[in-house]
Amino acid sequence: MIHKLTRKLFKVRILFSSIFIVGRSYLRKKDENRKSKIIYIDISRPEIYHRYFYNLCKYFILEDYEVFIKRSLRNIYYLKSNADASILFKENHLIIGKPSRYSDQFIIDDKMISPDYFDFIINPKIRENSYFVPIDFQQDIYFKSFWTHDFSNGKRYKSLFMAGNFGENYSNAYNEKLFNTINRYDVKTLIESLDCYKNLEVKDEFEFFEKVEDLSIYLIEKKNGYQIPPSKLFFYLSKFDFFFALPGMYMPISHNIIEAMSVGTIPFLQQSYADIFQPQLENGINCITYLGIEDLPKKIQYLFSLELNQIISLREEVIKFYLENLTPKSIVANIINPQNSKVYLMAEQYSVNQLSLKLEKNNNISDTLCN
């Protein structure tokens, strides 16, 4: 009963706040356009993109655009109701309503952008003239500018590292069924049986790095008493040569691989995961891949056998890939590129569900034709 009442009060508060934002937008002066670069986002259901709508706006803000969004009480209510997307209103960079009709502006609307992020799995040809916006960092990292520090120097351990959740809720069938990728829980279970796996439970980074060794695997779980705060995540990532890029809960691709690559930590991931990137990550060039669960232990041994010059070469290519494809500057350039007829923006579980429905439909059609 108390929970329901609290939820209702939250919705009422969000509604009144949204009404205030919309009302205030009518008082905005018409000569508000202060910057030469203007983007107008006119999407009918921005809430389905939740955290990735925040990222979309943030990329343009970081590239010194003036960002306008559609004046819609409904849209603003749903955006403010989402913990991630609502950060946009805390930053106070958005302008509600259309820019001046005399402004030179770039428009993102429902014709241009799509949440069907995995359509290329059904129709690979669309990759040729479409752009798939990478999912990039978590919102707090952009919001609090944790990503702006330089972690390029210092000692690195020749080991595999990942921090996150590894519970049984990561054992669902989505990754294997839709993407032919082993789920995170099953990989973690196998890794725990290897001699190179080190199960560390520590209180802080000082204790952690006193125990770290080369040629080891460290999977740091949030439930083990110490959770790496976002403010120190890049510091941890920069201390390792290799990042164990395990898939997300419902799809392979996850923000953590982008965060690792931004500091030159080399991704170690399944080949089917690497193939999802656009452009695709290349084994032996900017990542090291394994084919499946049987191949995994052998590839870990290969990873740890790499010479220093090989590791340096891989790291240079990882940083090159990040700078050319995963920074706000490169993302904005691709979105506004007229050669891209369609832009696909991640909508996480919605995107996964759309893929599942389309694959099921295609399979039903194939079964009907065969019969």
- Tokens 């978590």 found at: 138
Please state which of the ranges 24-28, 188-192, 225-229, 253-257 shows the lowest mean pLDDT. 225-229
* Token digits of residue 118: 């995995």
Q: Peptide bond before 279: cis, by omega within 30 degrees of 0? A: yes
**Residue 28 pLDDT greater than 80, yes or no:** no
Q: What average pLDDT is seen over the chain?
A: 90
Task: Give the residue among 155, 178, 200, 146 at the shortest CA–CA distance from 273.
Answer: 178
**Residue 29 pLDDT greater than 70, yes or no:** no
Please state which of the ranges 91-100, 143-152, 210-219 shows the lowest mean pLDDT. 143-152
Average pLDDT over residues 89-113: 88
- Any long-range contacts for 347-353 (C-beta under 8 Å, 24+ apart)? 347/48, 347/49, 347/50, 347/52, 347/115, 347/117, 348/50, 348/51, 348/52, 348/250, 348/251, 349/250, 350/48, 350/115, 351/115, 351/116, 351/117, 351/118, 351/251, 352/118, 352/174, 352/178, 352/250, 352/251
**Residue 370 pLDDT greater than 50, yes or no:** no
Look at strands 240-244 and 157-164 and give their pairing: parallel
Q: Identify the residue with better confidence: 31 or 193.
A: 193
**Residue 191 pLDDT greater than 90, yes or no:** yes
**Residue 330 pLDDT greater than 50, yes or no:** yes
Mind listing the pLDDT tens digit for each residue in 246-284?
A: 999 999 999 999 999 999 999 999 999 999 999 999 999
* Backbone angle region of 73, left / alpha / beta, with phi > 0 → left and psi within -120 to 50 → alpha: alpha
CB 256 within 8 A of CB 233: no
**Residue 1 pLDDT greater than 60, yes or no:** yes
**Residue 355 pLDDT greater than 70, yes or no:** yes
| Domains along the chain with CATH numbers | 17-136+331-351 (no CATH), 139-325 (3.40.50.2000)
* Token digits of residue 200: 């560390």
pLDDT for the residue 371: 44
Average pLDDT over residues 80-109: 88
**Residue 368 pLDDT greater than 50, yes or no:** no
Mind listing the pLDDT tens digit for each residue in 61-79?
A: 999 999 999 999 999 999 9
pLDDT for the residue 11: 87
**Residue 57 pLDDT greater than 70, yes or no:** yes
**Residue 31 pLDDT greater than 70, yes or no:** no
For the entire predicted model, the pTM comes to: 0.92
pLDDT for the residue 139: 85
Q: Work out the percent of the chain whose per-residue pLDDT is above 70.
A: 92
**Residue 369 pLDDT greater than 70, yes or no:** no
Please state which of the ranges 166-175, 218-227, 258-267 shows the lowest mean pLDDT. 218-227
pLDDT for the residue 335: 97
